[in-house]
């Protein structure tokens, strides 16, 4: 090092640039011998990659498309090519190629500015480090400034770098920091982007092309057209010539490589969720990461980590379940329909989200129109995870009243006689003890008639009788029903507090499919509620693994959950989903809202739970599901069993294909069996004109009621 520095001193002192660079002969010795420490190296931006449950990538985020690799993971021919063209004396000098530097300094001095490069690889590495470390545009401009002062700074740092690192370490850092064009930073990303191969498999012509691209990455960007590719080929051939001159390859090898086509095979490297095959799941993970303190104390830190952190996130996504949900939806709902279907699948006992699918393609529409085939709303999730405001969940909420009744000691056959219409005028109080009665509301059953009936806990559930559940909720208590729903993870899609009103059991709260699926999965897991989770492990840039474990809590007695499963299994056998089973033990509940504003089905097996919603994306109240064409099929009205139910059946059948069938635990019949339901005495036939008979044409009870947000009449 001393000999090299001494030779450099003599040469520099003799140059006329000493004074113009702000360096005099008097202090030049200090400039080149009293060296600073090597420049600090901030972690280089790398891609954050999302993997499905099997370890296959499906999305990535980055500010710079880069994957750092060790020198051993770079083909030897690539290492030789970059040294031959950029710094053929790399292994001979101590950071400064004196001959090349002096030649460049003389030329630049005579030209009155920087006209010729003479930087060693170490100097180029220093420049790139200073640019990466810059926090402002002014600092970046200073790091790139074409002046001799900046050049001398690079020389000083280069000497310090050579003191700190071996040649192999310097070359590795250079190959990982350099920009090659086409959005590729570092040799690994460049090899993948240009030729669709890893850096370890680069051939001689490919290595020469990448080495040639470093000097002019924008002018030789192969993604910009034929002219740029031709310039890249010229640069490649220049590198091959130089490799032959330095003895890196033989002339015959260089000539053969020059005759080969450029062979560009551009590999798309989309960033963000729009380029993912599973964009809605990607959006969920992205939103979860940006809100989770595990990934940073502030949102700014989390955003930086997502874009630059080089994290690998192993997610819970099951491609088989995801594709099953997408196929089931697309077979019944067209992306061009204004009506939208969304489905979420979740694993009972862990809360692991297996699929998030909607009928709309992901992306923005021209003029931001919601009528087009695309949306950026993650309709299967809540607002916090990119979703919309949700749809009223309808009679799926009756399961919470069912569970609350069973907890209080009700039996399967226990019931009462119900009137044909119910007015919630008294007996309802929210969890703050406030009266929330609605004396002006009238609740009808799904057929719109006001016939009285006798129903048990089981039959009332199977037939989804509105009046029965309103009376049951009053007897059990509104607050216990609300608390049961909360314990199972029920929160509104928009994040506002649940509306604790008499029609709570009829599902007047707007929900998203994932939240509903998570609640129903609690029954499948025998009362164990697990918070929905989309990640299982995070691996940082240093290879440190941080597991993301399920967060679960027993919220309902196991035997109560078994009893709920027993009743809800009857929905497929004797209820609203009769004849629509999936060939294994399953339980569930349909949901159809007042005026057919939306329709639902939520159900589960011991192995998988799912919820499906259908509504109009333009607004469910203004555009109810009556007399509509969806997926090329006309519906006079869309009920839970008519469209969401078949989607659920098809998707669950496919998602569980090959999974051994499990059965629910038999209920404790000594605790829940039996019970008494009064027998309804049939009324005498009504006299008078047919139009005066209840439920017949001309009856005032057939008149369409005025809609109120707290009033649900048609729920099934």
Q: What is the CATH number of the domain that holds 175?
A: 1.10.3810.10
What HEC string does 29-45 produce?
HHHHHCCCCCCCCCCCC
Half-sphere exposure of 249 (CA within 13 A, CB side): 29
Residue 214 falls within a domain, yes or no? yes
- CA–CA distance, 475 with 473 (Å, rounded to integer): 5
Q: Which of 184, 180, 128, 174 has the alpha carbon at shortest distance from 154?
A: 128
Name the pairing type of β-strands 453-456 and 415-418: antiparallel
- CA–CA distance, 647 with 329 (Å, rounded to integer): 6
Beta strands in 94-226 (DSSP E): 179-181, 184-185
Residue 80 falls within a domain, yes or no? yes
Residues 611, 513 contacting (CB under 8 angstroms): yes
Half-sphere exposure of 282 (CA within 13 A, CB side): 23
**pLDDT reported for residue 620:** 82
**pLDDT reported for residue 684:** 56
What total of structural domains would you count in the chain? 1
**pLDDT reported for residue 20:** 46
Radius of gyration of the chain (CA): 35
Residue 360 falls within a domain, yes or no? no
Sign of CA dihedral 343, 346, 352, 354: negative
**pLDDT reported for residue 526:** 98
**pLDDT reported for residue 1:** 42
**pLDDT reported for residue 30:** 53
In 10 A of CB 654, how many CB atoms? 16
Residue 183 falls within a domain, yes or no? yes
What HEC string does 606-670 produce?
CCCEEEEEEEECCCCCCCCCEEEEECCEEEEECCCCCCHHHHHHHHHHHHCCCCCCCCCCCCCHH
Residues 319, 491 contacting (CB under 8 angstroms): no
Cα 657 to Cα 28, 362, 589, 603, 661: the distances in Å are 77, 27, 22, 17, 9
Residue 617 falls within a domain, yes or no? no
Cα 6 to Cα 9, 90, 121, 162: the distances in Å are 5, 19, 21, 16
Q: Which of 50, 49, 548 has the alpha carbon at shortest distance from 319?
A: 50
pLDDT digits (tens, 9 = 90+) for 160-198: 999 999 999 999 999 999 999 999 999 999 999 999 999
Residue 696 falls within a domain, yes or no? no
What's the domain range around 82? Answer: 2-34+65-258
pTM, whole model, 2 decimals?
0.85
pLDDT means over runs of 10, the chain (716 residues): 43 44 49 76 93 97 95 98 94 74 57 54 92 82 74 85 94 97 96 97 98 95 95 97 96 97 93 94 96 88 91 97 98 94 98 97 72 84 94 96 98 94 94 95 77 92 95 98 98 96 96 98 98 95 92 97 98 94 95 90 98 93 92 94 96 96 96 89 49 28 34 42
Residue 247 falls within a domain, yes or no? yes
What HEC string does 367-434 produce?
HHCCCCCEECCCCCCCHHHCCCCCEECHHHHHHHHHHHHHHCCCCCCCEEEECCEECCCCCCECCCCC
Residues 358, 340 contacting (CB under 8 angstroms): yes
Q: Which of 667, 613, 606 has the alpha carbon at shortest distance from 395?
A: 613
Residue 334 falls within a domain, yes or no? no
């Amino acid at each position: 090092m001393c000999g090299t520095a001494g030779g450099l001193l003599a040469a520099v002192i003799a140059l006329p640039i000493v004074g113009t660079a702000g360096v005099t002969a008097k202090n030049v010795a200090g400039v080149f011998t009293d060296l600073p420490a090597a420049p600090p190296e901030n972690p280089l931006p790398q891609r954050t990659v999302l993997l499905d449950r099997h370890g296959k990538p499906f999305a990535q985020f980055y500010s710079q498309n880069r994957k750092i690799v060790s020198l051993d993971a770079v083909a030897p021919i690539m290492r030789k090519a970059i040294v031959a063209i950029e710094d053929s004396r790399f292994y001979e000098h101590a950071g400064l190629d004196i001959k090349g530097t002096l030649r460049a300094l003389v030329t630049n001095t005579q030209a009155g500015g920087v006209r010729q490069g003479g930087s060693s690889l170490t100097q180029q590495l220093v420049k790139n480090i200073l640019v990466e470390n810059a926090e402002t545009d002014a600092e970046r401009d200073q790091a790139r400034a074409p002046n001799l002062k900046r050049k001398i700074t690079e020389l000083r740092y280069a000497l310090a770098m050579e003191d700190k690192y071996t040649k192999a370490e310097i070359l590795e850092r250079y190959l990982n920091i350099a920009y090659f064009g086409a959005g590729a930073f570092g040799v690994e990303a460049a090899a993948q982007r240009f030729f669709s191969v890893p850096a370890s498999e680069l051939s001689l012509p490919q290595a020469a092309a990448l080495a040639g691209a470093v000097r002019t990455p924008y002018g030789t960007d192969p993604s910009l057209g034929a002219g740029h590719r031709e310039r890249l080929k010229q640069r490649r051939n220049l590198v091959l010539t130089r490799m032959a001159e330095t003895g890196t390859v033989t002339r015959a090898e260089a000539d053969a490589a020059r005759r080969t086509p450029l062979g560009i095979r551009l590999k798309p490297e989309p960033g963000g969720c729009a380029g993912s095959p599973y964009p809605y799941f990607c959006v969920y993970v992205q939103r979860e990461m940006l809100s989770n303190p595990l990934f940073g104390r502030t949102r700014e830190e989390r955003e930086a980590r997502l874009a630059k952190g080089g994290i690998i996130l192993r997610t819970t996504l099951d491609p088989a379940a995801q594709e099953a949900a997408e196929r089931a939806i697309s077979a019944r709902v067209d992306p061009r329909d204004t009506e939208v279907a969304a489905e979420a699948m979740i694993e009972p006992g862990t809360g692991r989200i297996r699929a998030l699918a909607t009928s709309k393609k992901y992306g923005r529409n021209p003029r931001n129109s919601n009528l087009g085939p695309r949306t950026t709303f993650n309709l299967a999730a809540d607002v916090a995870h990119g979703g919309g405001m949700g749809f009223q969940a309808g009679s799926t909420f009756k399961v919470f009243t069912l569970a609350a009744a069973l907890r209080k000691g009700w039996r399967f056959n226990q019931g009462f006689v119900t009137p044909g219409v119910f007015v919630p005028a008294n007996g309802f109080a929210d969890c703050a003890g406030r009266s929330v009665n609605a004396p002006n509301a009238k609740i009808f059953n799904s057929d719109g008639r006001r016939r009285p009936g006798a129903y048990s806990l089981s039959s009332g559930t199977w037939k989804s009788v509105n009046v029965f559940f309103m009376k049951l909720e009053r007897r059990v208590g509104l607050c216990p029903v609300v608390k049961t729903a909360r314990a199972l993870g029920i929160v509104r899609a928009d994040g506002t507090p649940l509306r604790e009103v008499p029609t709570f059991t009829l599902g007047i709260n707007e929900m998203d499919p994932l939240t509903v699926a998570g609640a129903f999965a609690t029954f499948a897991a025998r009362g164990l509620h697990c918070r929905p989770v989309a990640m299982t492990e995070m691996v940082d840039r240093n290879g440190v693994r941080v597991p993301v474990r399920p967060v679960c809590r027993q919220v309902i007695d196991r035997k109560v959950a078994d009893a709920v499963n027993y009743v809800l299994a009857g929905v497929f056998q004797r209820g609203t989903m009769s004849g629509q089973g999936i060939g294994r033990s399953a339980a569930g509940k349909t949901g159809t809202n007042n005026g057919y504003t939306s329709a639902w089905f939520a159900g589960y097996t011991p192995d998988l739970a799912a919820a499906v919603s259908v509504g109009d994306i333009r607004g469910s109240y203004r555009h109810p599901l009556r007399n509509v064409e969806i997926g090329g099929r006309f519906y006079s009205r869309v009920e839970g069993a008519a469209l969401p139910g078949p989607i659920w059946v098809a998707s669950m059948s496919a998602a569980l294909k090959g999974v051994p069938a499990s059965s629910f635990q038999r209920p404790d019949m000594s605790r829940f069996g039996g019970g008494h339901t009064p027998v309804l005495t049939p009324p005498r036939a009504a006299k008078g004109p047919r139009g005066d008979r209840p439920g017949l044409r001309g009856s005032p009870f057939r008149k369409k009621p005025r809609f109120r947000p707290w009033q649900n009449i048609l729920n099934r």
